A = this chain, B = another copy of it.
Amino acid sequence: MIVIMGHRADDNKIEVVLERLKKAGFKTHLSRGVERTIIGAIGDRTRMADLALEAMPGVESVVPILQPYKLASRAFKEEGTIVKIGDLELGGSEIQVMAGPCAVESREQLLESARLVKAAGATMLRGGAFKPRTSPYSFQGLEEEGLKLLAEARDLTGLKIVTEVMDASTIPMVAEYADVLQIGTRNMQNFFLLREVAKVNKPVILKRGVSATIEEWLMAAEYIMAGGNYNVILCERGIRTYETFTRNTLDLSAVPVIKHLSHLPVIVDPSHAIGKWRFVAPMAAAAVAAGADGLLIEVHPNPAEALCDGPQSLTPSNFEALMKELNGVAGVFGRRLGVPQGI
A68 within 8 A of B: yes
* Residue of chain B at shortest CB distance from A195: B136
Evaluate whether A137 and B190 lie within 8 angstroms (CB atoms) in the complex, with A65-B38, A253-B279, A310-B54 already known: no
Interface size class of A (residues with CB under 8 A): 35 or more
Q: Which residues of B contact A245 (CB under 8 A)?
A: 213-215, 257
The residue of chain B having its C-beta at the shortest distance from the C-beta of A137 within the complex is B46
Q: Is the CB of A192 within 8 A of B214?
A: no
Contacting residues of chain A (221-240) with chain B, CB-CB under 8 angstroms? 222-223, 226-227, 239-240
A14 CB, min distance to chain B CBs, angstroms: 14
Compute how far the CA of A249 lies from the CA of B250 in the bound complex, rounded to whole angstroms. Answer: 9
In the complex, chain B residues whose CB is within 8 Å of the CB of A211: 210-211, 240, 242
With contacts A289-B329, A290-B286 known, is A54 near B276, CB below 8 A? yes
Contact A135 B222 (CB under 8 A): yes
Identify 17 new A-B residue pairs, CB closer than 8 A, beyond the known A20-B304, A52-B309, A54-B310: A2-B38, A7-B75, A33-B65, A35-B75, A46-B137, A49-B133, A49-B138, A63-B63, A134-B219, A167-B192, A211-B242, A252-B286, A253-B274, A253-B279, A282-B290, A285-B332, A328-B331
